Amino acid sequence: MQILTYVLVALSIMSGLGVILSRSAVVSAMSLMVTMFLTGLLYFSQGSYFPAVVQILIYAGAISVLFIFIVMLLDLKPSRVLIPSRKIVVFFAVLAGLFFAFSLMFLILPGVSRSSLVGELMSSEGDVGLFNAKSISLNLLTKYMLPFQATTLLLLAAMMGAILIGRAGRKKED
Amino acid sequence: MNTEIYIVTGVVLFVLGVIGFLSRRSALIALMSLELMLNGTNLCLISFSRFHGNSEGGSLFLLIVLVAAAEAALALSILVSLYRTSGSVDLDDFRLLKG
């Protein structure tokens, strides 16, 4: 358990270094995605499951995908964008296939899922009662009512602002 | 409870974000460093909240995630429109207010 946490910490710091050190923006965006995902796993290993799920869904799922879209949309200087060679692509494809087979093993083989890695990742000391949806939403609807309502205005303003900025840029071109 | 390792990780991620924000000249990488900083802050928030056995950190975590999502969407759309007008995302190229 302890070793797994240390490995996750080392990997997340390394991928965080990858965000700020890599030359190509694509690699930075991918490293950002990996960092978000590993931070979500750190929440899991800590025993706070609800923040872990939110982190993986919103950060690793939505925000970093938005960054990758923008990187592809912007068409940065071709000298800076790293085009991966065939060997690297094959290597990562094999890696992803192995990972998929490994995680499929938990579903197919009986008894494996109970005993090993998943149970180890979910620490026994983590109490589910601390960060569950009920306590968080109770906080949001009583003590933090005003900030919670303010975020609705913020989201509305952000949405309208993004639409307006996108339209204004297009109108100028025509 | 090993809270320290999570706090240290959060602080390291925050410092990495600060370094990236100050040193990289691409606006896109600066925004990514901003997200990295928010990530480190969230990790510290959740870890401290767990350490004190208090669930309010989770609510603040949700609020921060919301603000980060709104900020990312808006900043990236501004970036795209800047790229349309000036043709680059280099922070040194934006001198419209300098006159």
Model ipTM?
A: 0.90
User: Averaged over A34-63, what is the pLDDT?
Assistant: 90
- Name the average pLDDT for chain A: 81
Residue A79 pLDDT > 50? no
- Coil vs helix vs strand at B26: strand
CB B44 within 8 A of CB B61: no
Interface residue A12 vs chain B (CB under 8 A): yes
Q: Which residues of A touch B9 (CB under 8 A)?
A: 9, 12-13, 42
pLDDT in tens, A83-111: 667 777 888 889 889 888 887 777 777 66
Interface residue A36 vs chain B (CB under 8 A): yes
Residue A169 pLDDT > 80? no
CB B79 within 8 A of CB A76: no
Q: Which contacts of A138-144 are long-range, i.e. CB under 8 A and separated by 24 or more positions?
A: A139/B55, A139/B56, A139/B58, A139/B59, A140/B59, A140/B62, A140/B63, A143/B56, A143/B59, A144/B56, A144/B59, A144/B60, A144/B63
Q: Which residues of B touch A19 (CB under 8 A)?
A: 16, 20, 29, 32-33, 36
> How far is A99 from B88, CA to CA, in rounded Å?
38
**Does the beta-carbon distance from A155 to B70 stay under 8 Å?**
yes
**Does the beta-carbon distance from A66 to B73 stay under 8 Å?**
yes
Q: What confidence category does residue A82 fall into, taking pLDDT thresholds of 50, 70 and 90?
A: low
User: Averaged over B10-29, what is the pLDDT?
Assistant: 91
User: Averaged over A28-33, what is the pLDDT?
Assistant: 91
Nearest CA in chain A to B39: A36
User: Averaged over A146-151, what is the pLDDT?
Assistant: 92
Backbone torsions φ then ψ of A122, nearest 5 degrees: -85, 105
Residue B63 pLDDT > 50? yes
Share of chain A above pLDDT 90, in %: 30
**Does the beta-carbon distance from B43 to A42 stay under 8 Å?**
yes
Q: Which residues of A touch B89 (CB under 8 A)?
A: 74, 76
In this prediction, residue A105 carries a pLDDT of 77
Q: Which residues of B touch A39 (CB under 8 A)?
A: 13, 39, 42-43
The pTM (predicted TM-score) of the whole model is 0.80
> How far is B54 from B39, CA to CA, in rounded Å?
20
Residue A158 pLDDT > 50? yes
In this prediction, residue B99 carries a pLDDT of 64
A115 vs chain B: nearest CA distance in angstroms? 23
Least confident of A76-90, B36-50, B51-65, B81-95: A76-90
In this prediction, residue A130 carries a pLDDT of 79
